[in-house]
Amino acid sequence: MREDPDAADVEAVLAGNVERFAAIVERWQETLVNLAYCFTRDASLAEDLAQEAFLQCFRRLAQWRREAPFRTWIYSLALNVYRSQLRRWRLPLEPLSDTLAGPSSLAAELLEAERQERVRRELGRLPPVYREALALFYLEEQDLAATASALGVPVGTLKARLHRGRELLRRRLRRIFG
């Protein structure tokens, strides 16, 4: 049977080998930073959030119960950290650029790119349950079971949140795009 690398590293860190925590950071940093980036749309802020999540992870490492996968535990912890930080931050949204509304195909492409960027930013403004469901679903390559497990909810609940989240996005964006 293959050993779970997370479990092995957690054991080592708890036994006093603090340097092994670097392996956990290495394994999870891209995922946690990108999850944060879904909410902030700012690379530097996303790294700050991920850093705080890793510190909390280190402090609470002993609280990880092996019944749940490490993935579920670290997602849940990171989401808690992000949630509380994002409550403190109020990130301003810049208006859509008027200069991009030209007739050329390049302008149309740029406008579509900016519309997509606005969708991603609006995602960060959804209520947490919908924001987290949508962000994790796409981060987990649209795997319903994996996303539901990471969020600790049944697949049916996740489906309902995805549906409602998309509906909210649609309504907000209709107001913005006209």
Partner 1 sequence: MSLDETIESALRDSPRIGVSSRLRREVMEAVRLERQPPLPFPRRRLLAALGLAALAAGLTVLLPASAAATPPPAALLPLAALLAIPQLLAWIEAW
Residue 60 burial (C-beta neighbours within 10 Å; 0-12, 13-18, 19+): exposed
Distance, in Å, from the CA atom of 78 to the CA atom of 85, rounded to the nearest integer, reads 11
Minimum CB distance to partner 1, residue 69 (Å)? 19
Closer to partner 1 at the Cβ: 2 or 167? 167
Minimum CB distance to partner 1, residue 2 (Å)? 25
Closer to partner 1 at the Cβ: 47 or 129? 47
Q: Are 110 and 160 in contact (CB under 8 A)?
A: no
Closer to partner 1 at the Cβ: 50 or 148? 50
Closer to partner 1 at the Cβ: 2 or 174? 174
Residues in CB range of 151: below 8 A, 6 or more apart: 75, 76, 132, 133, 136, 158
- For residues 159, 127, 60 and 154, what is the CA-based torsion angle, rounded to 10 degrees? -20
DSSP classification of residue 2: P
In order of 73, 86, 93, 116, 117, the CA distances from 122 in angstroms are: 26, 14, 9, 10, 9
Enumerate binding residues for partner 1 (CB under 8 A). 13-14, 16, 18-19, 21-22, 25-26, 29-30, 33-34, 37-38, 43, 46-47, 50-51, 54-55, 58-63, 112, 115-117, 119-120, 123, 134, 138, 142, 166, 169-170, 173-174, 177
Minimum CB distance to partner 1, residue 14 (Å)? 7
Minimum CB distance to partner 1, residue 28 (Å)? 10
Closer to partner 1 at the Cβ: 2 or 134? 134
Q: What is the CA radius of gyration of the chain?
A: 19
Minimum CB distance to partner 1, residue 35 (Å)? 11
Q: Are 13 and 20 in contact (CB under 8 A)?
A: yes
